[in-house]
Amino acid sequence: MMPEQPPEDKLAHPCFPQPLDSSIKIWRYIDLAKFIWLLENHKLYLSRLDLLRDSHEGAVPLSTVQARNEFYEKHAPSIVEVIPEINRKLRTSVYVSCWCQGNDESEAMWRLYCPDNKGVAIQLNYQGLVDSIAHEPFLHIGCVRYIDYEKDWFPEGNTYYPVMHKRIAFSHEREIRLAKLWMDNYHSGNQPAGISVDWDIERFMEALYIDPHAPDWYKDVVVAVVQKFCPNLGKRIVWSRIRAMPLY
């Protein structure tokens, strides 16, 4: 496989549609341990695609598979059964960081990604996230498309098409995805579970939201952690607005 060439404009990549409003808020819901790692290392962690919780990550729609098989059965029948295995293996060379777009917090995302009620949410805007990875020419960013894998399709010919599509059942995630193809150990089959890129949280983070379901003392823990690793972020720490008490 030929090495990827630096793109002239990452945001024009056909597999990475951009939001209509680049000022829309972007959220990263994570547990405290992952947040401490980010602060200590000043790096953003990208997980290997095939190790994500959804086993359909990197899958191909039925109609795409049918059209592909019909073509190759006529022109190169010997590789029809090989292609699925190639595609499965390619998933081990794609690394992603998953964010949620929306100008308001998501209760569902808090529950999904901070199930022990002791998480935080990093909030910035989309343009800020784009700018924060400008130093990484091969790290792409865009909106995940949600489709019906039994009725819809996307074209073959680009590794990122399967990466940037998911099933409709996941549309509540409103995902913004960072994705990078990293093939250093592809042939050996010894791909790491994750890779990381330099990331300046102090420059780009607008606010740090504390889990709405956390106990009162948890804020003191978050403040202490931030004070130790990045004290300039202290004034950006806020409780989740979901925590507000009801009025009757």
Report the alpha-carbon distance of residue 94 to residue 17 in Å, rounded.
18
**Which parts of 46-139 fold into alpha helices (H)?**
62-75, 83-90, 107-113, 126-132
Does residue 7 or residue 135 have the better pLDDT? 135
Report the alpha-carbon distance of residue 154 to residue 58 in Å, rounded.
12
pLDDT confidence tier of residue 3, bands split at 50, 70 and 90: very low
Tell whether the model's pLDDT for residue 221 goes beyond 60: yes
Report the alpha-carbon distance of residue 8 to residue 209 in Å, rounded.
35
Burial degree of 219 (CB within 10 A; 0-12, 13-18, 19+): middle
pTM, 2 dp: 0.92
Taking all residues of the chain, what is their mean pLDDT, rounded to a whole number?
A: 94
Tell whether the model's pLDDT for residue 92 goes beyond 90: yes
Report the alpha-carbon distance of residue 12 to residue 140 in Å, rounded.
10
State residue 184's pLDDT score.
82
Percent of the chain with pLDDT over 90: 85
Domain ranges of the chain: 13-30+43-104+121-201
Hey, what's the torsion of the CAs at 227, 228, 231, 233, to 10 degrees? -70
Summarize pLDDT for 109-151 with one digit per residue, the tens: 999 999 999 999 999 999 999 999 999 999 999 999 999 999 9
Summarize pLDDT for 98-108 with one digit per residue, the tens: 999 999 999 99
Pairing between strand 194-198 and 207-210? unpaired
CB 173 within 8 A of CB 179: no
Non-local CB neighbours of 135 within 8 Å, separated by 6+ positions: 198
Tokens linked to 115: 């199930």
Residue 209, amino acid:
Y
Tokens linked to 216: 């009162």
State residue 185's pLDDT score.
73
Summarize pLDDT for 159-169 with one digit per residue, the tens: 999 999 999 99
Pairing between strand 237-239 and 207-210? parallel
